[in-house]
Amino acid sequence: MEPEADAVSSDASSTSSIQTLISFYSSYVRNRFASIIPATNSNWLHRLSNLYLPTARARSKRRGVALPLPLPSSSLESGTTIEGSRVFDVIEDILDHVLSDLHIIQKNLHFWQTRAEGSNASKIYFMVFERGPGAFIDGTVQFIREYAAEGTSARHFYHSASAYISERIMVLTSLRYSLASFLAQAYMEVENFGEELAKDPEKSMPVLLVTINGLFSNLEASIGHLLSANQRKDSSNDNNHLVPLLFEQLPEVNQEGSQWTDCEITDAINLVYQNLSKLDLHLSTIVEKHRKPKKVAQNWVQYTFGVVGLSVCSMWLINHSRLVGSPDIDNWIREAKDSTLGFWNDHVEQPLISIRDELFNTFRKRHKGVMELEEVQLTSSSLHRMLLAFSQQTKGQDIPENTSDQELLEIVMNRYEKELMHPITNLLNGELARALLIQVQKLKLDIETAMLELDQILKANEINFAVLAALPAFFISLLLLMVVRAWLKQDSRAEGRGRVARLQRRLLLVEVEKRIMQHQIYLDEGLEKDAQCMFGLLLYSLDCLYRAVERHARETGEWLCLRQDIIDLAKPALQTSYKLTITSRMERLYDCLLPSLTHK
């Protein structure tokens, strides 16, 4: 046994020696490499190491912070750069996480509050038909059992549905209260450190990290109190299986910023990201148990009927297809194709071709109509010569050739009236026959002139006839365009472009105004914690408003003024009366917040 023990001890000592040697040489190589890098780039290694941290920032998966940090305006005007400072990245990530979690909680809370406002029948319908097939089966079985046992299951079902919804509203409201208070505290601490952060971010970072560590402790106590309260209220609640939220705490270090090493600052930053990951995980677990049902679960009845209807239609199609030897579908496809081609040819292609031909050829070929202008001019010249010769013979004197046809025609008519006094005699020996022939020539000229004008009118309206033939296709195209336009503008989010999106932006502004007033009411009543929570909710509403109006305000050139107004509304020290003045101005002035009826 002794030789074996000596062998084991020798192996252990050799392993320890190897580990010591590796540690020595790794430290040596690291120190040599650090000595090569200039001192001005001392943060480069830490930034490189942050790329491989397990708590690396995943901004692409989150909403991204929108509301600017509460920094002094002088630092912004002087052009102080804050992009490369770690402290601003940490602060933005904290606000980003909290605002994203608040958004998820608020979305689910709004759903349950809407359900709570419904009637008892709507609550029962939701409990049975809008929570999925499993809930439908369980609810139906429970309803039948209680009805068979007591006969009063309807009233019990009302209370059960109300309790189910109220529990989720209570939990989500408490979570929102805790997160909003944490958001308000963090935002006000950043504002308190604003001057120091603008001057020297790295120097003020240790004190700010210690403050943030204390805020995490307060948040841990608040959420833990919520969890314990729910456990006491309902011992069968699923929250009993939740692991308590325990944040990592900073070690006992000197809070003087000058005595913090760069490694200690890096460790403190990593600790913050670990706490954010724990917060996200804990909140996601709670919210998952109290979230609204998914769209598939809410509409599973409609989807079921849709699947059944699709199955019936599929079977009907199979019975009329080639699979069972039926030519019905082929015949229907052929008829539909012929009808479509006929409609396209009669109401689209041919009218468009006619319009094209008329646009290029009608006005050039207008002189080649049924009645040509030269024929009318020839008839007019012949009539003028006949009138002139008749007038000269009747008057017995020369008449100028430039005499108008109207004057010559008066001479002919006067002679015609005299000849009619002895029609038979004058028809054989007089000028009555000649006067009649002149009137026939005049009637021919009038007919030819009318035909020429009618021909021009018909040629000019050939385009109108072609357009009239294309009207059915035009109206169908217009209808399709309206459907596509409505589909593109169906985005009801506040960031959209439609009428509903504009209404959502105005409702966001109303929500901001209400929370400003409620915050002041809590302050007047001495409810500091409630006022703090309401300020956090105000910051959340301002963040939503900031995101909703940014793109539209940039397009209209109003962004700089609107952005500054939103920043002013987020200032805790600004008087409530001035904030309400700002909201009133925003509602009346900015185009992206105007009602749709007044929008040009």
pLDDT digits (tens, 9 = 90+) for 483-504: 777 666 655 576 777 778 888 8
Q: Give the pair of three-digit tokens for residue 46.
A: 């830490």
User: Is residue 151 predicted with pLDDT exceeding 70?
Assistant: no
User: Is residue 272 predicted with pLDDT exceeding 50?
Assistant: yes
Please give the model's pTM, rounded to 2 decimal places. 0.65
pLDDT class of 351 with cuts at 50, 70, 90 = confident
Q: For residue 219, give the nearest of 168, 276, 285 by alpha carbon.
A: 276
pLDDT of residue 4: 40
pLDDT class of 251 with cuts at 50, 70, 90 = confident
* Greatest mean pLDDT range, 82-91, 111-120, 322-331, 470-479: 111-120
User: Is residue 39 predicted with pLDDT exceeding 50?
Assistant: no
pLDDT class of 365 with cuts at 50, 70, 90 = low
pLDDT of residue 141: 80
Are residues 181 and 536 in contact, defined by beta-carbon separation less than 8 angstroms? yes
Q: Give the pair of three-digit tokens for residue 141.
A: 């079985």
User: Is residue 98 predicted with pLDDT exceeding 50?
Assistant: yes
Q: What is the mean pLDDT of the chain?
A: 76
Cα–chain center distance at 468: 39
User: Is residue 14 predicted with pLDDT exceeding 60?
Assistant: no
Least confident of 10-14, 63-67, 300-304: 10-14
Q: Please state, in angstroms and rounded to a whole number, the distance separating the CA atoms of residues 407 and 387.
A: 9
pLDDT of residue 465: 65
Residue 561 zone, left/alpha/beta (φ > 0; ψ -120 to 50; rest): alpha
Q: Please state, in angstroms and rounded to a whole number, the distance separating the CA atoms of residues 191 and 183.
A: 12
Least confident of 196-205, 323-332, 435-444: 196-205
Q: Please state, in angstroms and rounded to a whole number, the distance separating the CA atoms of residues 144 and 134.
A: 16
DSSP string, 512-573: HHHHHHHHHHHHHHT-HHHHHHHHHHHHHHHHHHHHHHHHHHHHHT-HHHHHHHHHHHT-TT
pLDDT tens, residue by residue, 153-169: 567 777 888 888 888 89
The domain segmentation of the chain, as residue ranges, is: 21-34+81-293, 327-364, 497-589
The Cβ of residue 563 has, within 10 Å, a number of other Cβ atoms equal to 16
Q: Please state, in angstroms and rounded to a whole number, the distance separating the CA atoms of residues 560 and 199.
A: 24
pLDDT of residue 234: 56
Are residues 528 and 534 in contact, defined by beta-carbon separation less than 8 angstroms? no
User: Is residue 590 predicted with pLDDT exceeding 80?
Assistant: yes
Angstrom distances, CA of residue 543 to CA of 49, 188, 569: 32, 15, 11
Least confident of 10-14, 206-210, 547-551: 10-14
User: Is residue 290 predicted with pLDDT exceeding 60?
Assistant: yes
pLDDT of residue 86: 79
pLDDT of residue 512: 93
User: Is residue 572 predicted with pLDDT exceeding 60?
Assistant: yes
Least confident of 36-45, 98-107, 580-589: 36-45
Measure the CA angle with vertex 562, ends 560 and 568; round to 5°. Answer: 105
Q: Please state, in angstroms and rounded to a whole number, the distance separating the CA atoms of residues 221 and 178.
A: 10
Q: Write the CB contacts of 152 (distance below 8 Å, at least 6 apart in sequence).
A: 146
pLDDT of residue 385: 80
Are residues 265 and 205 in contact, defined by beta-carbon separation less than 8 angstroms? yes
User: Is residue 256 predicted with pLDDT exceeding 80?
Assistant: no
User: Is residue 542 predicted with pLDDT exceeding 80?
Assistant: yes
Give me the percent of the chain exceeding a pLDDT of 70.
75
pLDDT of residue 62: 53
User: Is residue 293 predicted with pLDDT exceeding 80?
Assistant: yes
Region 556-585: mean pLDDT is: 90
Amino acid (one-letter) located at 101: D
Cα–chain center distance at 184: 29
pLDDT class of 300 with cuts at 50, 70, 90 = confident
pLDDT of residue 543: 92
Region 575-579: mean pLDDT is: 91
